Structure 1
């Protein structure tokens, strides 16, 4: 039976204007530590990235930071992580984070956060992995992206066989339970059961 041992989290190197974003990052970090789940993230000490990592570490959790050499100064890497991996470029960074994680979570963030989570969706769409992907829709931050996906579906660019599978939750407390459910369901589907196309986006 597969278990959820590590989660890759994408989030902003800034805090955003709504205090709810930082509060969510802090709460999720504590949750990961309490559940004994390793945090894999971009290695920075600033913004939501720093809040998330420090919260996890302070609560006794394990944190692996992955950062390319050229970003060490720009994102002010966090030296106190459990393990810090320096990569040669962004491609190696993303591949390493992918390999280290059992699932992916996107907290609020900017272009980099968007690019990283959408890449994982693309890899999933192309059959390169079956790991769960979850949007933490804090203060409904991801609603415009979800609406865009629905627009793509209506315009027949997302269609059966090319669906994008992800989970959406509004509360931090629901993230770990939903990821565990997704991991368990993946194992069930491997056993021969099927799932309809209308289950592509799951919202709680």
Structure 2
């Protein structure tokens, strides 16, 4: 399998952590892609020209929730996607919440690299509100992150890691101590350490 990715993409990081945690990382070839380069050929693998993309024997898979669930189907260990019941819906809810935080963060990131005269501050503030709303919910539910490793906990860790990478001025740990405590423990996992990116 080949993973088309960028080292700074939090969605690709989610896939890479999943690969480590399921013992599949040695079966995946990492292929760096420059998403800003139209000549990269990314659109031939994903018509949306987005990463990550996992090339499989039956064709490309995208995006990160689909890729992660596919990888989770390939191993015999504890599943990151619980099969049924409240555990499943809790994991999927956390994944959706953390992915939503990342969606808002990436929209700010894309807006902020435009020339200043074209940036729309009310739009940026709206996305910041979504990030803070997600962090509020994550702080209140931080106890849910303890215990079993799931796609929800992985995605939450990647979301917080992206804030550390691109939004250092947010200083989220000061306002969200329960979340900070949980993240500190998760960040010691080798899968997290091995997928760290530099700004």
Structure-2-length-normalised TM-score: 0.31
Higher strand share: 1
Kindly indicate whether structure 1 or structure 2 has the higher relative contact order, using CA contacts under 8 Å at least 6 residues apart. 2
Structure-1-length-normalised TM-score: 0.30
